[in-house]
Structure 1
Amino acid sequence: MRKHETYAQQPHIRIITGACPHDCPDTCAWQIAVDERTGRAVDIWGHPDHPITRGRLCGKVERYLDRVYHPERLTRPLKRVGPKGSGQFVPVSWDEAIADIAARLQQIIAEYGAEAVLPYSYAGTMGLLQGEGMASRFFNRMGASRLARTICATAGFEGLTYTLGAALATDTEAFAKARFILIWGSNTLTSNMHLWPFVQEARANGARVIVIDPARTRTARAADEWIAINPGTDGVLALAMMHVIIRDALYDADYVARATVGFDRLVARVRDWTPERAETITGVPAARIERLAHEYATTRPAAIRINYGLQRHAGGGMTVRTIACLPALVGAWRDEGGGLQLSTSGAFRFNRNVLERPDLLQGREPRTINMIRLGDALSLDPARLAQAHYRPRPVDPPVRPEEAGPPVKALIVYNSNPAAVAPHQQAVLEGLRREDLFTVVLEHFQTDTADYADYILPATTQAEHWDIVKPYGHYYLMLNRPAIAPLGESLPNSEIFRRLAQAMGYTEACFTQSDEEILREFVEAQTDPVFEGITWERLVRDGWARLNLPQPFVPFADGRFPTPSGKCELYSERMAEDGYDPLPTWTPPATRRNADAATVWQQGWLFCISPPAHSFLNTTFVNVERLRRREGEPSLWIHPDDAAARGIREGALVRVWNERGEVHLRAHLTEDIVHGTVLAPSIWWNKLSPDGRNINQVTPAEESDMGGGARFYDVLVRVEPLAVASEEPESTQQAVSLA
């Protein structure tokens, strides 16, 4: 008997349907059993009727109630009484906290202007209201600096939309019909597990599944084949595949003629990208590239699943743009189960104005700060602050120091933990230590970032508030209903910003609406045909609703794309206008631009990537003891050959360092990582790491090629046994030019 059926027979148990809020493409529907006698949630499971969730939650979210009822859960506002970073706080009332925060913000605005206030948030919740809905109203009314939320996906998103016109994708359910599946730069079993049953269904029907990745991940071990590739070279592999497909006339001539623009120029571009040339860069044997291109082009339906890991380097946007050309070249978009999936978010064509209220800006255009440049943004050096301004394209002019605007004097953090997740960690922590920086953190726990706050405000979890969640891995809009009352004095983000708005003297009616009123109004305001038939009542009744899309949904079967040309743009005039090469190419990672890989290795450097640990989701769940024990301790995968050259043994503590910082990790020798590359599963809280640091000590804050995205996997490091660690050698300066 299934869980919901068991609990339904118990009269004191109430079952509430909700949606997982976390930064994962699966966006699961869940059910929570609540004991009405105590008001306590007693169990959680995946909703059995949701077409993607199918009754299962990942190992992390299965422990969600461990977070809700964690003994260290914040339930009262806290005010700092010790030095910044010491974690010393005392409880205060909500009235005192809100009044003091409002007074401090008003003082800063009066002296420096509203742009001196910087919001900082990302995907701690993917909910539209508790994420950016009410917060946007508040900061728009204030006129605060805007934040470009670039830390995860912007480079790949831009590369995809230059090519396809929108983030539309092969339907997750349609993967079951594929006969050839490339999982390219995605560890599906860790970060997208609800796709896997459809992949398995395809395999049962004869599909072949190949994983392309620098690491033999859980997914690679479960697939039919692992193709090991050097990090940051995926675009080269795609170019070589196109070379073979065109050379051997394996492309779909009819679809190319009807549905693409720029084919003749693409032919000229890929002529020199032979498999032999690609082998020297990617590490993938030329013969294997030949076979891969033939398998992909001659098997239908053929699907590619890419994820955001492969775009976290200086050429990440172009990498996704190049791979995204492949399905049109072979006509894979014709077939149900064919095509490519990076994100489905482009199908949710929301009118967000009613939710976020940009009209409250009243014509003001505040500066926009790139979130990955937080260390620069918090610097009091105008030149560094100017570098922190958002410049997503090459044609965007640099900001001069005298144009940078006021220093950031107030930082309001919600749905994020930048002290742990932001790159160039030392610079971020230096900024957070500023005594003149007024910092407010909305949180569930006293995270690394919260230790630097002046006030910590206790926020509710997804089990305790209303929200609507937009997925990016399927086409079902999700509603979350609160299952339990807020713990202690915790409040939803929406209510915290309501109270701050009132204390700031903002009298607009939008700051008095309840969460249900806001969400109902938002649903009713949607007029795009994809939302036809989706009503508030339907969401409350069922918990989700599929967009009004054809079934099956094969987004580009007719050869029409939402690009300026109406076709898949193998050649993009818009890219040329924005300062990019208009054709697919390889934009090397910064770590490979001034020297080839062999030279880098000869100098003793290793490429470093830091994908998600299986038991964590960014820094969420790190403080859940059961999950932390499952993960073990902060570690570093290193190939035995690289370890031997450095005198490193299995289980040894090693120093991982470069010119930005260092971290100590436990070495794990394995052939599951390509030679010359190390891998640090992440992201550990600093305070829960043995040496009080994590891998973002060594990651750069510089931008990728498109969208101002992050370069977390574009890193060179030295690795040595901790017992013989020495001072930085003179060659450190050379690392700056390489990294």
Structure 2
Amino acid sequence: MTNTIADIETADVTLVTGSNTTENHPVLSTFVKRAALHGKTLIVIDPRRIKLTQHANSWLRPQPGTDIAWINGLMHVIIKEDLHDKKFVEERTEGFEALAETVKKYTPEYVEAITGIDADDIVATARKFARARVATILYCMGITQHTCGTDNVKSLANLSMLCGHMGKPGGGVNPLRGQNNVQGACDMGGLPNVFTAYQSVADPNSAKKYEAAWDVEGLSTTPGLVVTEMIQKAELGELKSLYIIGENPLVSDPDLNHAEKAFGNLEFMVVQDIFLTETAQMADVVFPAFCFAEKEGTFSNTERRVQRVRKAVEAPGFAWEDWKILCELATRMGNPMNYENAEEIFEEIRMVTPSYAGITWERIDQTGIHWPCPTEEHPGTPILHTAQFTRGKGLFHAIEHQPPAELPDDAYPFMLTTGRVIYHYHTGSMTMQSRGLNELSPECFVEISSNDAAKLDLADGEMVNVFSRRGKITARLNVSEKAVDGTIFIPFHFAKAAANRLTNARLDPVAKIPEFKVCAISIEKAA
């Protein structure tokens, strides 16, 4: 996030898109709802009538996969009506002319034809957002999990910069991280092309710094593979082994039939986890690890706040800390890694990570600190881009709408989108160990509108078969007010009716994220 969670309550306008905030981020959503309760404007733009729409001043319902079009439509109105922040644009950005030229054709009527959003709603929303003293954008995987996910995010950044809502309290472009410590994992180099703090592995100077810190020679400057590329290589027989830590891809990966085939081609697979997941059951070796409550360390949350994690209970059986397993494995492979504890590891982290350099174990004993924090005297940075952007001036990207990789047709007439429910988390590795949560949400469901159910002669609660070009599942029908005509929602938590047997594995060319949020399906009554 460019701003803090608490900042949400100071925004005059909050625009939430691609985020079922109340179910996926229930704690953070209280800030959004409280701001609305106190008279601040809440705009929700989402294909489903999610619970947050009950608190919103307006809900705009786009067709899935049309986000660039409606964002360009808002910017068209803002520029045409001279509502943009000219001072901010002139002093803090570049590329405005190309953006303005691109959005010229995205008239409200043109956008309505693409997205289904009423043209008058486009105009009204653009005026509210641009005229606000300060406005914030919150988004999640409904924006990123598309073949154009990177461009979706750039478009939201365009919109915020255009109105001068960046670099000040209550503003910014704020991604809501989908899992605990995703931000921290990325900060620590959990990506194939960077070391910690996003220092490129292709930069020889970065490589030399880490060689000196780790007392090694010849670190590769060639970026590795992202997860989705690993699966492709495994299917082709070019990747022979896989080490999986804390993930359950045999439920969470797209086009699961294809993924299972790829995993079956592996010669050796190791899984390090706290439960015997569907993926762990296929592994040659399973390392039992500590859960969050059994270890010391730090988490970096969605607002970049680095916080201490403290051991609360003893770990069961033969489980080890994740870092201790990795260190022991490295040592037995001929590269000794010796640390006394998590504090010693954190000390090394801040020595090689500029944005963490000023964050010490003692400083975060009581309260977390937002990175970047370059020195021990620095207070941390709750709000990014206050004076300038990382590259100097913010760059507008002129982006055209591009349709999803797969759209409904006669054979598969419905649009499928996937997501989560409040009672379960990701693939249910932890939440499905809870009897109470399983009673509240015991099985997969197929959420459909009452109109679509009537057209198909389907009744609430009956079992249905759902087909895509990649697979089939059987689940219980849920006729719901959340659903809108033409769009079907299925949660992806449930292995027995895994929604990802249906989803499309086509990737965003930049981020290599699959298009989980849009694919074409058909439905029929189960025998």
TM-score normalised by the chain length of structure 1: 0.63
Counterparts of residues 4-83 of structure 1 (less than 5 Å) = none
Shift of the 713–343 alpha-carbon distance from structure 1 to 2, 3 Å rule, reads closer
Listed one character per residue, the Cα deviations across residues 552-585 of structure 1 (whole Å, up to 9, x for unaligned) are 9543344x2122xx222114xxxxxxxxxxx122
1:521 aligns with 2:347: yes
Q: Does 1:255 align with 2:84?
A: no
State, as a whole percentage, how many aligned pairs show the same letter: 26
Query: What is the distance in 1 between the residues matched to 2:312 and 2:158?
Result: 45
Q: 5 Å matches for 1:551-630?
A: 553-558=382-387, 560-563=388-391, 566-571=392-397, 583-592=398-407, 600-619=408-427, 620=429, 621-630=431-440
The 8 Å contact of residues 300 and 338 in structure 1, kept in 2 or not, is answered as no
| Contact 1:169–1:343, Cα closer than 8 Å, also in 2 | no
Counterpart residue type for residue 306 of structure 2: L
Partner of 1:468: 298
Task: Name the SS of the counterpart of 2:100 in structure 1.
Answer: helix
Change (3 A) 1:328 1:520: closer
1:242 aligns with one of 71, 75, 88: 75
Per-residue Cα deviation, 1:384-422 (whole angstroms, up to 9, x for no partner): x5xxxxxxxxxxxxxxxxxxxxx3332222211111111
- Corresponding residue of 1:717: 521
Superposed, 1:162-561 pairs within 5 Å as: 169-333=2-166, 335-342=168-175, 350=197, 360=216, 362-364=218-220, 368-379=224-235, 381=236, 407-434=238-265, 437-471=267-301, 473-504=302-333, 506-508=334-336, 511-516=337-342, 518-522=344-348, 524-525=350-351, 528=354, 531-532=357-358, 534-539=359-364, 541-542=365-366, 544-547=368-371, 548=373, 553-558=382-387, 560-561=388-389
- The CA RMSD over aligned residues, in Å, is 2.8
Taking structure 1 as reference, are residues 638 and 201 closer, same or farther at Cα in structure 2, changes over 3 Å only? closer
**Aligned partner letter, 2:273:** E
Q: Which amino acid aligns with 1:663?
A: I
Distance change >3 Å, CA 616–CA 351, structure 1 → 2: same
Is the contact between residue 197 and residue 355 of structure 2 (CA under 8 Å) also seen in structure 1? no
Deviation sequence 1:5-50 (CA, Å, 0-9, x none): xxxxxxxxxxxxxxxxxxxxxxxxxxxxxxxxxxxxxxxxxxxxxx
Q: Which runs of 5+ in 1 are unaligned?
A: 1-167, 386-406, 572-582, 593-599, 724-739
Report what 1:106 is aligned to.
none
CA deviations over 1:620-646 (Å, ceiling 9, x no partner): 323322212212310011122222232
Over 3 Å counting, the alpha-carbon distance change for 1:552 and 1:351 in structure 2 is closer
Query: What code does the residue aligned with 2:269 have?
Result: T
Write the distance in 1 (CA, Å) between the matches of 2:520 and 2:307.
Answer: 41
**How do 1:57-136 and structure 2 match up within 5 A?**
none
Tell me the SS of whatever aligns to 2:426: coil
CA 1:477–1:355 in structure 2 vs 1: closer, same or farther (change >3 Å)? farther
Secondary structure class of the residue paired with 1:675: coil
Which deviations, in whole Å up to 9, do the C-alpha atoms of 1:279-334 show, x marking residues without a partner?
A: 11111111111111111111222111111222211111111111211111112226
Cα distance, 1:220 vs structure 2: 2.2
Code of the aligned partner of 2:18: G
Q: Deviations over 1:86-105 (max 9, x none)?
A: xxxxxxxxxxxxxxxxxxxx
1:561 to 1:675, Cα distance in 2 relative to 1, 3 A: same
Counterpart for residue 702 of structure 1 = 506
- TM-score where L is the length of structure 2: 0.86
Which ranges of structure 2 fall in alignment gaps of 5 or more residues? 178-182, 188-195, 200-208
* Structure number with bigger Rg: 1
**2:412–2:468 Cα contact (<8 Å) kept:** no
Distance 1:250 1:425, change over 3 A: same
Corresponding pairs, count: 497
Instruction: For 1:528 and 1:409, locate their aligned partners in 2 and report how far apart those are by CA, in whole Å.
Output: 35
Distance 1:518 1:356 in 2: 17
Closer/same/farther in 2, CA of residues 659 and 201 from structure 1, 3 Å limit: closer
Contact 1:601 1:676 (8 Å CA) reproduced: no
Question: What residue identity is the alignment partner of 1:556?
Answer: H
CA contact (8 A) 1:641 1:675 kept: yes
CA contact under 8 A between 1:229 and 1:674: conserved in structure 2? Answer: no
Distance 1:529 1:500, change over 3 A: closer
CA contact (8 A) 1:316 1:705 kept: no
Q: CA deviation at 1:514?
A: 2.5
Q: Deviation per CA, 1:197-223, whole angstroms, max 9, x where unpaired?
A: 333443344201121111112222333
Answer with 637-646 or 610-619: which moved more. Answer: 637-646
Check 1:174–1:517 CA distance in 2 against 1; reply closer, same or farther (3 A cut): closer
SS at match of 1:332: coil
> Distance in 2 between the 1:204 and 1:637 partners?
29
1:649 corresponds in structure 2 to: 459
Contact 1:647 1:720 in 2 (8 A): no
Change (3 A) 1:257 1:295: same
CA deviations over 1:322-373 (Å, ceiling 9, x no partner): 1211111112226421232126959967488769977757244677333124
Higher relative contact order (CA 8 A, sep 6+): 1
| Distance in 2 between residues matched to 1:551 and 1:171, nearest whole Å | 12
- Alignment check: 8 A CA contact 1:378 1:428 kept: no
Matched, 1:639 2:465: no
Q: C-alpha distance in 2, partners of 1:606/1:358?
A: 53
Contact 1:244 1:290 in 2 (8 A): yes
Q: Once the two structures are superposed, what CA deviation does each residue of 1:436-482 show, in whole Å capped at 9, x if it has no partner?
A: 722222222121112212222211111212222122x2242112122
**3-state SS in 2 of match to 1:591:** coil
> Cα deviations across residues 486-509 of structure 1 (Å, max 9, x unaligned)?
2111111222223323333x143x
Identify if the C-alpha distance between structure 1 residues 281 and 359 changes in structure 2 by more than 3 Å, giving closer, same or farther: farther
Contact 1:424/1:697 (8 A) holds in 2:
yes
2: CA distance between counterparts of 1:567 and 1:439? 46
Cα pair 1:375 1:431 within 8 Å, conserved: yes
Structure 2: distance between partners of 1:322 and 1:709:
17
SS at match of 2:505: coil
* Partner Cα separation in structure 1 for residue 212 and residue 127 of structure 2: 48
Cα distance in 2, alignment partners of residues 611 and 277 from structure 1: 29
Whole-angstrom CA distance in 1 between matches of 2:464 and 2:355: 56
Task: From the superposition, tell whether residues 557 and 455 of structure 1 become closer, same or farther in structure 2 (CA, over 3 Å).
Answer: closer
**How far apart in 2 are the matches of 1:520 and 1:410?**
29
